[in-house]
Amino acid sequence: MPTGTVSRDGAGSRTYPPDDSGRSSGTTAASPPPENRVSSTPDETALQRENDALRRANAQLKAELAAADEDRQEIIDRYEQLLAESRRRTHPQRGRHSASGSSNRRPSNRADGPIATVRAAVGRAVASVASSLGFR
């Protein structure tokens, strides 16, 4: 099985693990000496413990984030409910029932200005006549 190419200075590419049987001439440059591998075990254990601690902290942060998202959604839902109640009290639907709960009124535009003026004038005239007839 080929072990790849390793030059004397350690440069090159290695696609397979080095052959530990001693057949490969470049294995000393490609793999660490055995004493370094044994001393890396405590480092690996420490890194594994740190990795586990980080995973636990990450899971806890994700849980806190999910709880915060739920709280935020509850606040948004409550705000929308209060806003809808406020709009119903401020702008009651005069006998009209909408399936979506929204008003069926047209959006305001500049043409409503003259109409509103005429309605106000008619309302004042009716109030004046009603007052003079004693209805108010």
Q: Evaluate whether residue 7 is within a structural domain.
A: no
Q: Evaluate whether residue 48 is within a structural domain.
A: yes
* Residue scoring higher pLDDT (93 or 68): 68
Q: Evaluate whether residue 34 is within a structural domain.
A: yes
Confidence band for 69, pLDDT divided at 50, 70 and 90? very high
> What's the Cα-to-Cα distance from 69 to each of 56, 72, 79, 83, 101, rounded to whole Å?
20, 5, 15, 21, 27
Q: Evaluate whether residue 125 is within a structural domain.
A: no
Task: Give the integer Cα–Cα distance in Å for 126 and 27.
Answer: 107
Q: Evaluate whether residue 109 is within a structural domain.
A: no
Nearest to 101 by CA among 109, 92, 110: 92
Q: In which domain, by residue range, is 57 found?
A: 27-92
Q: What is the number of domains present in the chain?
A: 1
Q: Evaluate whether residue 115 is within a structural domain.
A: no
For the question of whether the overall pTM of this predicted structure is more than 0.85, the answer is: no
- Residue 126's pLDDT is 79
CA angle 28, 30, 35 (to 5 degrees): 60
